[in-house]
A and B are shown apart, each in its own frame.
Chain A
């Protein structure tokens, strides 16, 4: 059973460009969480999605950031008009159902570097 997959693993963008980060949850998992890790910091929650629904986006910046988890295909975290402060590692986690005994399985992360 493949784990949570994220691509690309590394992404370089220039200021003002768009970044698209993809997350494929584990097979059978319909709950996806996105976290951001700034340098030398812990992970911070951004958004929680179920298929076709955003459940909690309280950790996501109001502007330039959006997330989706369509019925078919991976979850996408989209950052428009990136700025240097967006440089971070973005982790996706999945679980089979809500409050699934506290277990979220993390992907390897996408390292975004904004030049």
Chain B
């Protein structure tokens, strides 16, 4: 069974700093997707970034980028020039696409990120 581990329950950084959130996962699959979701106080689940395992290039979305190390099964999220609006819970997640359609997402327990003014 696949598992996702986020070892940092909570982090705080000053506004404008760069912060890295860690995530490791366990799977025997070769083809899968990895995600970072943001959950602000409104508790809406917002997709931040997505990585396909077959792509070697790390995904980037504006100030958000990932460091995907497939062999190490590591998928960290880097937030550059952090902003107050980045304060949220961040979930790392894994999905193995299935021809049967059984593509459920498996989430880590989350990292609570505080951006300090």
By a beta-carbon cutoff of 8 Å, the part of chain A in contact with chain B is: 31, 33, 35, 40-45, 48, 50, 55-56, 59, 89, 91, 93, 98-99, 101-104, 106, 108-109, 111
Contacts and interface: CB of A to CB of B under 8 A. Distances in A.
Given A42-B109, A42-B110, A99 B44 contact: no
Given A43-B105, A99-B98, A109-B45, 18 more contacts: A33-B105, A40-B109, A42-B91, A42-B109, A43-B45, A55-B100, A55-B101, A56-B102, A89-B43, A93-B45, A98-B103, A99-B101, A102-B97, A103-B47, A106-B37, A106-B44, A108-B43, A111-B43
Interface of B: 4, 33, 35, 37, 42-47, 50, 52, 91, 93, 95, 97-110
A25 B95 CA distance: 20
B98 A98 contact: yes
Nearest to B45: A106
B101 A103 contact: no
A99 B43 contact: no
B45 A102 contact: no
Given A102-B33, A102-B50, A48 B45 contact: no
Nearest to A48: B104
A101 B98 CA distance: 11
Contacts of A103: 47, 50
A80 B46 CA distance: 30
A111 B39 CA distance: 14
A101 B102 CA distance: 13
B45 to A, nearest CB: 4
Closest 3 CB pairs of A and B: A98-B101, A99-B97, A102-B33
Contact of A48 (B35, B46, B102, B107): B102
Contacts of A108: 42-44
Given A56-B102, A99-B101, A42 B107 contact: yes
9 contacts: A31-B101, A40-B109, A43-B105, A48-B103, A99-B99, A99-B101, A99-B103, A106-B45, A109-B45
